[in-house]
Structure 1
Amino acid sequence: MSQGLASIPRIVFGSATAAQTVLATQDAAIRAPLSTTRRIGFLSLAPHASVTPLALQVTRAITARRPESVLTVDATPDGDLARALEVAETAPNETRAGARTTAEALTGLEDRRGIVGLRPPATGDPVGAWLAEAAPITRFFDVAVTDFGAHHPLADLGSCAALSDVVCLVADASRAAAENARAVVPAIQALPEQPAVVLALTETDPDSSAVARAIAATSSHPVVFIPRAPRAARRAVLSLAAALVAGGREVMA
C-alpha cells in the first residue's frame, strides 16, 4: 500500500476529531454566560426566503443550549416568524412598557418551550415598533432575536441594524448577491452603535460553496455558508448561532 493510501484512515479520523472539537467549542460559546443582553438582528438587502427560517433555527439552537428563555421579535410586514411560533399580534401593554421586573416584562406574552414571542402591531414602521414594544423588555433576557426582514441600504437598513449588537445579514451565495451584501458590511459596522456583522450565505447552485469560500477568505467578519443538505445545514446553523451569541466572532476550535 502506498504511503498516501496508508494515511487515509488517519486523515479521516483526524478530521472527525477536529470536527467534534469545533462542534463542542461552538456549543460552549452558545452556552457561555453573557454580561448584557445579546441583541441579534436578522436582515437582508432584498426579500429572501431564508431570513425567517434562519432566525427561527438560530433561536431554537440557542434555546436548546441556554437555561434562560429567548425573546424573539417579528418586526416584518408579513409576520412569518410569528406564525411559525404561533404568536398572535401583541397588543401594547402599559405594565410591559414600564417593566421593572421580569414578571412585568412578560405581561401579555407566552413562554413556549423557552421562546417568548413578540409581534408588534405597527410593523409598517419596524424601528418604531421595536423601540415601543421590544426595547423596554430586552434587558430582561440574555438573548433577543429580531427578524427585521428585507431593508434597502438607502432606506432603513441602517436604522434596523442599529438596534442590534450583532447583525446577521442574509444573502444568496451567488457572486453578485454575496458581493453586494459584503459591500454593505462596512457601513453597518461604521454606525454609531457599532454593531458587529455575520454574513450568512445560502446555497443556490453548485458554485455557491466556492463563492462563500472566496468571500470568507477576503472578509474580516465571519461568513457562514448555509448548504441545502439538511445535516450540513444543521451544523452551519450551529456555527451561525455561535458566532452571533459570541458577538460577531467566528467560533472555531
Structure 2
Amino acid sequence: MSGATALLPALLGGAADRQAELEAADRAIRAPLALSRRVGFVQLVGGVGASTTVAAVAALIAVRRRGAVLAVDAAAGPRSLRWHAGLGTTAPPPADARRTRPQSQADALAGLPITDAGVAVLDGHAEDDLAITETAWAEHVAPLARFCPVVCTDWGVRGAGADLGGVAAASSTVCVVTRSDRSALERALAAAEAVRALPNGPDVVVAAVDVGRTGGRLPVGFGADVGVPVVRVPFEPARRALRPVHGADCSSATRAALIRLAAAVMTPGGNRR
C-alpha cells in the first residue's frame, strides 16, 4: 500500500466523531459523478500556498477514485503546480497533437507526465500562454475534460471582477485559497460571495491556510454566516523544505484538513442557496 493510499486509515484512530467525519469525507471524494468536476483554485494575493494545495488535493482525489485526474497549471511563478506535484523544474514536454481533438482518454492524456499518485499534469506554460487567459484554458482543456472525471486547475493569483468571472466560467467549483487571518479571510469570503452570485455561478469553497499561524486567533465558526464552506488547513513546517511536500511528510492534522477540503470541492451543490 502506498503512502497516499494508506493515508486515511492512519487518520482514523481518534474519537468516533472524527472517524465518522473522515469516513464521510472519503465517501464524498469517491462518489460517482454525473458530470466531470472542474475545480478551479485561485488566490487573491501570492504566497498563500495555492499550488501546494492543488497538488495535494489532486493527489488525494486520484488515489481514491477510478478515472483520470487532470491537474492544470495555469499560474505563474517558479514553484509551480508541476514542481509541487514532484515533476521537477525541467521544461515540460511539447504539446501532443492527439490532445487537440481527443477521441479517448489515451488521446486526452497523450504525452502528459503522470505523478506517483496518478495525476496527469498539463503545464500551461508550454501551451500558448495558458497562464494568461481563460480563453486559452478553454481551448486546451475543455476538449480533454469529457475524458477526465476530475480536472483541478491552479489559476494562481487572480483579482476580483473579470478575473474571477473567467475562472468561475471554467469551473464547477471555485476554491479560494487564502491566509487564515481575519482580514485575508474576510476578503476571500467577499470574493466567494461574489463568485457564487454570478449567473449560473459555481459552488465555492474557501481554503484558509494558516501560513502565518494566525488562524488560532479567529473564533470558531468565523464566516459560517456566509454559507460558504471554510476549510482550515494548519501551518505545515514541511512546506519550508526545498523539495515538494507529499502527504507522508505532513502532520495528521494537515492530512485530515486536506481530506476535508477534497471532499468539499467534490460535493456538487454543497453551498447552494
For this structure pair, what is the TM-score category when the shorter chain's length is used for normalisation? 0.7 to 0.9
C-alpha distance in 2 between matches for 1:84 and 1:204:
17
Residue 84 of structure 1 deviates from its aligned partner by: 2.9
Relative to 1, partners in 2 of residues 1:101 and 1:207: Cα closer, same or farther, differing over 3 Å? closer
Relative to 1, partners in 2 of residues 1:217 and 1:60: Cα closer, same or farther, differing over 3 Å? same
Q: Does 2:206 match 1:222?
A: no
Between 229-238 and 102-111, report the one with greater CA deviation. Answer: 102-111
Relative to 1, partners in 2 of residues 1:138 and 1:90: Cα closer, same or farther, differing over 3 Å? farther
Residue 98 of structure 1 deviates from its aligned partner by: 1.1
The aligned length equals: 236
Q: Could you list the per-position Cα deviations for residues 204-227 of structure 1 after superposition, in whole angstroms to 9, with x for gaps in the alignment?
A: 456513426343332211110111
1:1-253 aligned within 5 A: 16-78=15-77, 80-85=80-85, 86=87, 88-89=91-92, 91-113=94-116, 114-120=118-124, 121=126, 122-205=129-212, 207-211=214-218, 213-228=220-235, 230-247=251-268, 249=270
Residue 118 of structure 1 deviates from its aligned partner by: 0.3
Residue 133 of structure 1 deviates from its aligned partner by: 1.3
Question: Given that residues 193 and 226 in structure 2 are in contact (C-alpha distance below 8 angstroms), is that contact kept between their aligned partners in structure 1?
Answer: no
Relative to 1, partners in 2 of residues 1:234 and 1:248: Cα closer, same or farther, differing over 3 Å? farther
Residue 233 of structure 1 deviates from its aligned partner by: 1.1
Q: What is the percentage of aligned positions where both structures have the same residue? A: 34
Question: Given that residues 167 and 197 in structure 1 are in contact (C-alpha distance below 8 angstroms), is that contact kept between their aligned partners in structure 2?
Answer: yes
Return 5+ residue gaps in structure 2 as ranges.
1-13, 237-250
Relative to 1, partners in 2 of residues 1:40 and 1:169: Cα closer, same or farther, differing over 3 Å? same
C-alpha distance in 1 between matches for 2:49 and 2:269:
19
C-alpha distance in 1 between matches for 2:254 and 2:131:
32
Between 88-97 and 48-57, report the one with greater CA deviation. Answer: 88-97
Query: What amino acid maps onto 2:265 in structure 1?
Result: L
Tell me the secondary structure at the aligned position of residue 204 of structure 2.
strand
TM-score calculated relative to the size of structure 2: 0.79
C-alpha distance in 1 between matches for 2:259 and 2:253:
10
Question: Given that residues 74 and 156 in structure 2 are in contact (C-alpha distance below 8 angstroms), is that contact kept between their aligned partners in structure 1?
Answer: yes
- Which structure's residues are more often helix, by fraction? 1
TM-score calculated relative to the size of structure 1: 0.85
Query: What amino acid maps onto 2:258 in structure 1?
Result: V
C-alpha distance in 2 between matches for 1:128 and 1:65:
31
Residue 228 of structure 1 deviates from its aligned partner by: 1.8
C-alpha distance in 2 between matches for 1:142 and 1:204:
31
Tell me the secondary structure at the aligned position of residue 99 of structure 1.
coil
Tell me the secondary structure at the aligned position of residue 164 of structure 1.
coil
Q: Could you list the per-position Cα deviations for residues 118-148 of structure 1 after superposition, in whole angstroms to 9, with x for gaps in the alignment?
A: 0123134231331121111011011110000
C-alpha distance in 2 between matches for 1:243 and 1:39:
13
Q: Could you list the per-position Cα deviations for residues 36-62 of structure 1 after superposition, in whole angstroms to 9, with x for gaps in the alignment?
A: 100011001111331011101101111
Query: What amino acid maps onto 1:18 in structure 2?
Result: D
Tell me the secondary structure at the aligned position of residue 220 of structure 2.
helix
**Aligned-residue CA RMSD in angstroms?**
2.1
- Larger Cα-atom Rg: 1
Residue 158 of structure 1 deviates from its aligned partner by: 1.8
Q: Could you list the per-position Cα deviations for residues 2-47 of structure 1 after superposition, in whole angstroms to 9, with x for gaps in the alignment?
A: xxxxxxxxxxxxx801110111111111111111100011001111
